[in-house]
Amino acid sequence: MAVFDPDTILAISNKFRLQWEAAQQAYVLLYAEGMIKLNVSAGEVLKRLDGQRTLAAVIEDLQRQFPNAALEDDVREFVNIAHDHGWIIVKQPT
């Protein structure tokens, strides 16, 4: 399993599209002939993986929004899982 540096920049893979679905009241990942419905925390993490911000910045932002949760470990674990599923990719520095 990949372990990402804090300065890694992650983005949603071009095989998927992240989108808010009002009918589901959830973020979803769309792909050909299928959909993954995300829970609240997965949606909050993935929508921040915009190919611009570093992982450290994403965690910091989440921590600001949810100050009462110790979430760094959970975010890291989820990001690893998302990467293993091919939902997200490491953005190469240009």
Partner 1 sequence: MGAVQLGFSGGEPLLRRDLEDLVAEARHLGYYTNLITSAAGLGEPRLKALKEAGLDHIQISFQAGSQALNDFMAGTRIFEHKLAAARLVKQYGYDIVLNFVVYRDNIDQIGQMLDMAGEVGADYVELANVQYYGWALLNRDRLLPTREQLSRAEAIAHQYQERWKGRMRILYVIPDYYEERPKACMSGWGSIFLTVAPDGVALPCQAARQLPGIEFPNVRDHSVEWIWNESPAFNKFRGFDWMKEPCRSCPDRFKDYGGCRCQAYMLTGDAGNTDPVCSLSPRHDVILSAISSANAAAERGNGAREPGQGEGPIFRNVRNSSKLSA
> Using the rule CB under 8 A, is 31 a contact of partner 1?
yes
- The single residue among 11, 30, 56, 90 that binds partner 1, judged by CB under 8 A, is 30
Token pair for residue 29? 């990942």
* 39 lies in the site for partner 1, by CB under 8 A: no
DSSP alpha helix (H) spans, the chain:
40-46, 55-65, 72-84
Binding of residue 2 to partner 1 (CB under 8 A): no
24-29: Cβ within 8 A, 24+ apart: 29/87
Nearest to 3 by CA among 85, 92, 81: 81
Which range in 15-23, 42-50, 59-67, 71-79 contacts partner 1 by CB under 8 A?
15-23
Q: Is 85 in the site for partner 1 (CB under 8 A)?
A: no
Q: Which residues bind partner 1 (CB under 8 A)?
A: 14-15, 17, 19, 21, 23-24, 28, 30-35
